A and B are shown apart, each in its own frame.
Chain A
């Protein structure tokens, strides 16, 4: 399969103002002040950020649903500000609120949307694939959040798009549906689609994304593959943590290097954090052997994307 090499989407220095805001004496409020993003075919590109960071606003500008106040956007080589029908046919969109008519039934709605395209995907096969048949006779207003989410995903795919926007795709999904949806997203990526998804869940980004843009307070603050973001953080501050459970009242610090920080998070639950080396684990095991203590649990963790995210966007609630 030949893959176009030009990026599917380039967002450069996006600016978006809202208002006028009465609380600001009628001035405009800048909610996006510099988002950069490049999304490629055959990749899942995640826009990761806390609620209110500007993820939805950013992709709605790229979809032509919101106007922008500065910067450039190139979607499949075109400016999406007033998207042509030809451009819209090549782009699939799943909105955060679904955007499905509450009184409609899933299959007739999907068939209707499919007819807007010259060569749509088969609605029947999509419905089978996403388990929609199980609730095909139920009006959309009576579906659960996760069921609605699957219908919205099917509606975004039915036109056989080259670029797919998914706004919080795992919201409301139970664990089984989440697996099903994630498998489908990976399969679509392998078919060559450019997939742009927003999420505030680090786990989603870590599981799905080939490339992650971290957005905070309306601007891109970090970008890279998950591995790159993790290694940046690790080289800055190589942190690993060993946690184990053993009888309370022990003092592991006596057996370990002074550079490592040791704490008992609750009676019998110990945590050792620092630039851990294999030798440290050996010392720990020798210490257990000397005391004739067998830990009831043992866990080793390296820095997660969550630590990177919190380091960049701060820990305070917004």
Chain B
């Protein structure tokens, strides 16, 4: 048997178009994330448990019209942290260990396409998470203002960018086992005390002053500002932009591909 018919050598092999390569990689990474059971627990099950817990306990009483109205924006922010930071960080760390990043960077996809594909996959999974969380929240009586929804979508995307950059920074600089430990630990710490689902006013005084400057607190406050009060929290947006720029620059500087 012979090989498939080939072109004469004078006809050069060409890459697929840049946009197509990135879209395809984004689709591939999205399907890989969705097929991973552990990631789905982190992405969907845990946020829904937090949502229900906040809806049935008095932790958020007195902060808005209803518990679910205050809880939902924070849980959406938690979804962004789950997928962009923890899930994506762990996946990238192990891809690096197994040489997947090196192999794909030798194909036309390249290093830039690989990162762009990961960002697309994070955003795609986040859209699915937001649909599921919003549907359950609406069922539990969530009533978001329309202006808040329009403001919340770009804020959530900004949070995803900041957390993706942080996840890549961790995944590209330490061993995958350490990435697993760091991103899971920070997910729990940020989740409980980082101002993401519990507003700073409900946290101990010692941490409440700091959390505004954490990516978790900034995203949580920005989302609650938009979806509870219909307000644009400039400080939170500046903090998120700062984290995005610093983490991206650090990842570009120190990311090791092998």
Contacts and interface: CB of A to CB of B under 8 A. Distances in A.
Interface string A100-119: 11111000000011011111
Contact of B4 (A91, A95, A126): A126
A242 B1 CA distance: 41
A188 B98 contact: no
A315 interface: no
A99 B9 contact: no
B106 A160 contact: no
Given A89-B108, A129-B1, A155 B103 contact: yes
A2 interface: yes
Contacts of A174: none
B49 to A, nearest CB: 26
B231 interface: no
Contacts of B28: 112
Contacts, number: 129
Contacts of A4: 9-10
Given A88-B110, A102-B98, A116 B21 contact: yes
B8 A88 contact: no
A51 to B, nearest CB: 18
- In this complex, the member of A63, A91, A101 whose beta carbon has the largest number of chain B beta carbons within 10 angstroms is A101
B2 interface: yes
B36 A103 contact: yes
A115 B103 contact: no
B99 interface: yes
A85 B3 contact: no
- In this complex, the member of B13, B102, B258 whose beta carbon has the largest number of chain A beta carbons within 10 angstroms is B13
B24 interface: yes
Interface in B83-119: 94-95, 98-110, 113
A165 to B, nearest CB: 8
B6 interface: yes
A98 interface: yes
B258 A118 contact: no
A86 B98 contact: no
Contact of A97 (B21, B95, B99): B99
Contacts of B99: 95, 97-100
A65 interface: yes
14 contacts: A2-B9, A85-B18, A88-B107, A89-B14, A98-B99, A101-B32, A103-B32, A121-B4, A160-B13, A162-B12, A187-B2, A191-B3, A191-B6, A192-B9
Interface of A: 1-4, 41, 63-65, 83, 85-86, 88-91, 93, 95, 97-104, 112-113, 115-119, 121-122, 125-126, 128-129, 152, 155, 159-162, 184, 187-188, 191-193
